[in-house]
Structure 1
Amino acid sequence: MSQASNAPFNSPFQQLHGRIVVSCQADEGDPLDDLDTLNRIATSVLRGGAGGLRAEGVTRIAAFRSLTDLPIIGIIKAYDANGDVYITPDFFSAKAISDAGADIIALDCTARRLTAPEPWTELIPRIHAELHRPVLADIASLEDAVAAERAGADAVATTLYGYTAETAGIRTPSWPLLQALVAHLTVPILLEGHITHPPDALHALTLGATAVVVGSAITRPETITRRFVGVARQKNLHFTNDQADDAV
């Protein structure tokens, strides 16, 4: 499936070309899990120059829609009995976030979802036909991405790299995966996940990513603080070991 054939759905991705999208989310129980707080975070990142937002849930998407005309990538998270998270798993979820004002519907398009009651191979054409929204395929591998493009996805994002059984626990961007996506796909490619420093975003754009989605490194003080504290603890441990060596 080429970009040309998806022309009616390309506009939001054209707007995002070369931009930073900020994912404004908070897990249940997080101190930031409050609509007014997330609204303020979204307002701040928009003032900082974000080219778009990624948001979870109808209420948050609707609130962010009132803040900006820039593209909003919408999702709904669902959890199975094992606690595994799935992104926008059915048409009901897709319609809800479309009605709330999302410009782009993101779906879990990994191989694990092919046997779901509503597999993404069926959801993509239905979203196009009934909601008239572009679909962003959240993937974890080149194979996922190629299959999603063939099924009609309008763009792909590396969102689920690190969150499938094959990639579990990886918390750094896969530059080889990005390079493979650029080499094999014709649809826009968003690098999402594990970006912690501005040079990472620049590198992704240089390699050919259409846009970069950044979340925790911008919006989550707890995660940012933990990173700094970790460095301080390493330094303190090094200092303590040096003291022990001196005492020997």
Structure 2
Amino acid sequence: MNPLLKNLEGGLIVSCQALEDEPLFGSMIMSKMAIAAREGGAVGIRANSPADIRAIKQVIDLPVIGLYKKNYQDSEVYITPTSKEVEEVVEAGADIVAFDATFRERPGGQVLDEFVKEIKSKFPSVLLMADISTIEEGLHAVELGCDLISTTLAGYTEDTDHITGFDKTLLSALVEKAGCPIVAEGRVNTPELAAECIRAGAFAVVVGSAITRPQEITKQFVKEIEITRKME
């Protein structure tokens, strides 16, 4: 196994991301978040945008899974959608590049197979993480030679929008059939669930909002308090 991947095995990867409309948006803030995650025992960081990746790489020595969220009018794919974003993520210093590996058409009409072939040709030494939403997408990503498969997009595509929590069935199926490292990601919102994913065979677990989005964490506390007050 690649030594870099070995460092991630069995551990927690913290997704340090904040979009422009969020209170913690900013590369300096995300770099501080990454330091806090490292001090808490995280084995890796998942980060969005070249600016955030560079800032994080300057302050920690953990592996960084890089992606670049970009919206294109002709496609629903927004996680590292084209080779241009891949190039920027690689140049920023990402150790692994994550991208949308669903069957949806990419910007410019490009299909997944063409995209993976292109980035493998341009960046042959870069490790690839395929963000998928279904078992079929996961197995196809393995066939394309991706190094890691992540359940990131289960519940976030038109075909899977009926899924409202972490997809345990998808994880189990991929662990059984894929034959490569499977990362549990997407609505892993408690320590107990993260541990359950590892017991189910996940190579590693990615947690984002439950750790790094205080506005969402606050909402959960407020919701429970309001429910209690209404019951009184």
**TM-score normalised by L of structure 1:** 0.88
Q: Is the 1:62–1:101 contact (alpha carbons within 8 Å) kept by the matching residues of 2? A: yes
Distance 2:35 2:203 in 1: 23
1:55 aligns with 2:47: yes
Distance 1:39 1:115 in 2: 30
Q: Counterpart of 2:135 in structure 1: which amino acid?
A: L
1:18 aligns with 2:32: no
> Displaced runs of 4+ in structure 1, greater than 4 A?
82-85
Question: Who is 1:67 aligned against?
Answer: 59
1:196 to 149, 167, 189: 189
Distance 1:116 1:187 in 2: 30
1:95 aligns with 2:87: yes
Q: Is the 1:125–1:152 contact (alpha carbons within 8 Å) kept by the matching residues of 2? A: no
Moved more, 199-208 or 107-116: 107-116
Superposed CA deviations along residues 76-128 of structure 1, whole A, max 9, x for unmatched, are: 11223389451111111101100100011111110113685333312323333
SS in 2 for 1:14: helix
Question: Who is 1:4 aligned against?
Answer: none
1:149 aligns with 2:142: yes
Q: Is the 1:20–1:212 contact (alpha carbons within 8 Å) kept by the matching residues of 2? A: yes
Q: Is the 2:148–2:180 contact (alpha carbons within 8 Å) kept by the matching residues of 1? A: yes
Q: Is the 2:198–2:204 contact (alpha carbons within 8 Å) kept by the matching residues of 1? A: yes
- Residues 83 and 152 (structure 1 numbering): CA distance in 2 closer, same or farther, change over 3 Å? closer
Aligned counterparts, 1:1-248, within 5 A: 10-81=2-73, 84=76, 86-113=78-105, 117-131=109-123, 132-168=125-161, 170-239=163-232
Distance 2:51 2:144 in 1: 30
Shift of 1:197: 0.7
Shift of 1:153: 1.0
Task: Kindly report the root-mean-square deviation, in angstroms, between the aligned alpha carbons of the 2 structures.
Answer: 1.8
Distance 1:180 1:217 in 2: 25
Find the structure with the greater CA-based Rg. Answer: 1
**TM-score normalised by L of structure 2:** 0.94
Distance 1:103 1:119 in 2: 24
Distance 1:105 1:36 in 2: 21
Q: Is the 2:12–2:207 contact (alpha carbons within 8 Å) kept by the matching residues of 1? A: yes
Q: Counterpart of 1:184 in structure 2: which amino acid?
A: K
Q: Is the 1:162–1:169 contact (alpha carbons within 8 Å) kept by the matching residues of 2? A: yes
SS in 2 for 1:66: helix
* Residues paired across the two proteins, number: 231
Q: Is the 1:173–1:195 contact (alpha carbons within 8 Å) kept by the matching residues of 2? A: yes
SS in 2 for 1:29: coil
Distance 2:144 2:86 in 1: 17
Unpaired runs of 5+ residues, structure 1, are 1-6, 240-248
- Residues 171 and 142 (structure 1 numbering): CA distance in 2 closer, same or farther, change over 3 Å? same
